Amino acid sequence: IQEHIDYRVLVTKEGENIFGPIPLTHTSEGVIKGLTVEFPEKGIYSVDFDVEGILFQPIPKETVSFDIAVGEAQQDQPTTPTNG
């Protein structure tokens, strides 16, 4: 676990902000505890985590994004090309 991370979080659904973006926040333990997000309805939500600092040093922003399916919503599954 990487300690001392500066990060932001944003949750969206169909381009609308559901949670955040939160101000630049620091975790000394490298773990985010107590982050509570209410998903108001079924569907696919996008979560973006931006990291902008490590060990008290600014870094170029790095972002990881992923989708969360709430309820019976179905995510598009990536297809794997086949040879043949």
For the chain, 84 residues long, give each residue's pLDDT as a single digit of tens.
999 999 999 999 999 999 999 999 999 999 998 899 999 999 999 999 999 999 999 999 999 999 999 998 666 665 555 555
Place of tokens 């300690």: 3
Sequence-ordered list of residues with C-beta below 8 angstroms from that of 63, at least 6 positions apart, any chain: 48, 49, 50, 51
Place of tokens 């773990």: 31
Q: Kindly tell me the sign of the dihedral angle through the C-alpha atoms of 69, 71, 76, 79.
A: positive
For residues 19 and 13, give the distance between their C-alpha atoms in angstroms, rounded to a whole number: 10
For residues 24 and 9, give the distance between their C-alpha atoms in angstroms, rounded to a whole number: 9
Decide: 35 and 56 in contact? Cβ < 8 Å.
no
